[in-house]
Amino acid sequence: MNAAVQANGVSEKPYFSEDGFTLYNADSLELLESMEAEQFDMIFADPPYFLSNDGVTCKNGRMVSVNKGRWDRSQGVLENHEFNLRWLASCQRLLKPNGTIWVSGTQHVIYSIGFAMQSLDFKILNDIAWFKVNPPPNLSCRYFTHGTETIIWAGRTPKTKHTFNYQLMKEENGGKQMKNLWNIMSPRKAEKVHGKHPTQKPIALMRRIVLAATDEGDRILDPFCGSGTTGIAAKTYGREFVGIDQSTEYLDLTIKRYGDIESA
């Protein structure tokens, strides 16, 4: 991709670009629809979960609001689903024929994601149950504690011949086939030294995804890149990365994390 892409007829310059690591400060829907097709080997997406409903949760032993921002507010079931269909269709167009997409979510969004994928004729490969090991307690005591997220892994079409580094995953699992139940703790303090993002993913999770489904030199997109964990994993293991986010605060956080890799 060129240093700039065309979004609504206006040249969209990168917010940051260095050595195959590129960030855009933009509305993901608009930018995705303007980008050149079939350029990514893998996409990881952590879309809005639509759970900012004025409720509370527990963090570090304290009761805190679940609200994360306007971007996470539900617009109603139908509008939420239309949003998911739109960005997933754009991502499907951007994937190479044998490319794959990973999408994470809780019960608030993952069923819409799965149905949208089926509607768009993605090839669903696996659903990963990510067990967080150390989830916050359920304060209402009226439900089971939410200790998992689901990650759907899918190929662009039913004809996709996807990359899966089976032997590496087997080696990392002590010589046994790796199951779709992943026990990985939420991000630790060391991963938040430059700042926090409310839905930050652990580097161990993104490392596994990147190594499982891509090869060195492959190109990875994250359309809701947040604090940039996808990009950090991609860069660390020799992949190119493009990330999009509406928040300059979180893009700046990503750049600081990127700087740690470069100075290591």
The residue ranges of DSSP E strands in the chain, in sequence order, are 5-7, 10-12, 16-18, 21-25, 40-45, 56-59, 62-65, 95-105, 123-131, 148-155, 181-183, 219-222, 240-245
Which amino acid is present at 173? N
Which amino acid is present at 25? N
Instruction: Label the pairing between strands 95-105 and 40-45.
Output: parallel
Instruction: Record the pTM.
Output: 0.87
Rounded CA separation 175/33 (Å): 42
Q: Does residue 87 contact residue 103 with C-beta atoms inside 8 Å?
A: no
**Residue-wise DSSP of 6-52:** EETTEEE--SEEETTEEEEES-HHHHHHHSPSS-EEEEEE-------
From first to last of its 264 residues, the chain has per-residue pLDDT tens of 444 555 433 357 999 999 999 999 999 999 999 999 999 999 999 999 875 454 444 455 554 444 445 645 667 789 999 999 999 999 999 999 999 999 999 988 999 999 999 999 999 999 999 999 888 888 888 889 889 999 999 999 999 999 999 999 999 999 999 999 999 998 888 899 998 877 899 999 999 999 999 999 999 999 999 999 999 999 999 999 999 999 999 999 999 999 999 776
Structural domains in the chain, sorted by start: 5-263 (3.40.50.150)
Residue with tokens 């893009």: 251
Rounded CA separation 31/24 (Å): 9
